[in-house]
Chains A and B, each alone.
Chain A
Amino acid sequence: MSRFEVKGLHKKYGQKLLFNNLSFRFDDNRFIVLLGSNGSGKSTLLKICSGLVPFSEGTIMLGNGQERIDRAHNSSFVAEHVGFPGYLTAEDILQQQQKLYPHFDLNQAMSYCNEMNVPTQTKWFALSTGQRYLLSLIIAISTQKPFLFIDELLANLDTVKKEAMQRILTDFLLEGSRTIVMATHAYDDVEMLADGVIFIENQNATIINDLETWRIEQGTSLNDLFARVGKT
């Protein structure tokens, strides 16, 4: 059982209140999309949950991990700006990861690279943006941590890479007891993969715990929800 629970979260950036008593809970094996306008705190929420950023009040549970170190241990955080030393090849990077993370699955990572056309002998600085994103995601998944927090990775990817990424994410979910939380504006690309929604607005969030039931009840799509919201 790997539950993802946030209770009474407060977060301030200087004078700016970002979250005011935010609470929600998702049970395991979920693909949750995190929606919200720019500056609403999507990235911050992901970083708080994965233990990269502190918060003032509240509790966050990732599986059995509540302390910041345990949450960091249980999760991977992937974002556009995450980088590796430019002189390392993809294979060097993967081997380094294996030393850092005892459960790192090097074979899986290498076979994903081959399958998704990420050249393993090319140095990081020479990889394209899309290849870098894919490699970052492959690394995150191969560390075998149950929680995956992704900050807007699908934007600016070509169709082939988008599909590759969707495939990797589906595989990740199939492992069981896994949770993906993905902040994105490219909701079209994840509409079919998502089964829950966190929608941040006014220092709090609207939660759709069961997106399928929500679709039946509302007869509308995530796209429409976001279009409605984007205007405010």
Chain B
Amino acid sequence: MSIQFDPNKAIYVQIVDSFYQRICSEELAPGDKLPSIRDTAHLFKVNPNTVSRAYQEMDREEITFSKRGQGTFVTEDLKKIQLLKEAIAQKQLNELVLYMRKLGYTDETIVEALKKTVKELKE
């Protein structure tokens, strides 16, 4: 797995986002150990300090927790993961709606377009 980072944005924020995505999709399950800072730095080809900062940020937001000498783990609190998932989804939805309004869509046509797209993508 490799990510193309946007150099215009803080790298650690993008690392956090990529882990949150994997945690929400349960690719990383509650209680799972995250790869070591070393492995993540090599995998993403970023500065280990940046990875360490990303891990601290996830710890601070209580989506992960670190055990001294053992590594960083995904929280076992399912409620926190659920809230994270809703927050990320909400942010995406807000951006989508605001963008479509800018394009001149009315609220009703936004809903219609969304329904249509959901249906189309299913097939």
Contact = CB atoms under 8 A, between A and B. Distances in A.
B38 interface: yes
B12 interface: yes
B45 A192 contact: yes
A191 B7 contact: yes
B49 A221 contact: no
B9 interface: yes
Q: Chain B: interface residue count, which band?
A: 20 to 34
Given A174-B38, A195-B50, A212-B50, A166 B45 contact: yes
Contact of A170 (B5, B12, B42): B42
Interface residues of A, number: 24
A165 to B, nearest CB: 11
B47 A170 contact: yes
B8 A224 contact: yes
Contact of B10 (A31, A216, A223): A216
A170 B41 contact: yes
Contact of A173 (B10, B11, B47): B47
A29 interface: yes
B70 to A, nearest CB: 18
Interface in A185-202: 191-195
A163 B45 contact: yes
Contacts of B47: 31, 170, 173, 192-195
B16 to A, nearest CB: 12
Contacts of B7: 191-192, 215, 221-223
Nearest to A29: B49
Contacts of A166: 45
B38 A219 contact: no
A216 to B, nearest CB: 5
Contacts of B46: 192-193
Contacts of B42: 167, 170
A4 to B, nearest CB: 15
B19 interface: no
A174 B12 contact: no
Contacts of B45: 163, 166, 170, 192-193
Interface of A: 29-31, 163, 166-167, 170, 173-174, 191-195, 212-213, 215-216, 219-224
Given A166-B45, A192-B50, 16 more contacts: A29-B49, A31-B49, A167-B42, A170-B47, A170-B48, A174-B37, A174-B41, A192-B5, A192-B7, A193-B47, A194-B47, A212-B53, A216-B10, A216-B13, A223-B7, A224-B8
27 contacts: A166-B45, A167-B42, A170-B41, A170-B45, A173-B47, A174-B38, A191-B7, A192-B5, A192-B11, A192-B44, A192-B45, A192-B46, A192-B47, A192-B50, A193-B45, A193-B47, A195-B49, A195-B50, A212-B12, A212-B50, A215-B7, A215-B8, A215-B10, A216-B9, A222-B7, A223-B7, A224-B8
Interface of B: 5, 7-13, 37-38, 41-42, 44-50, 53
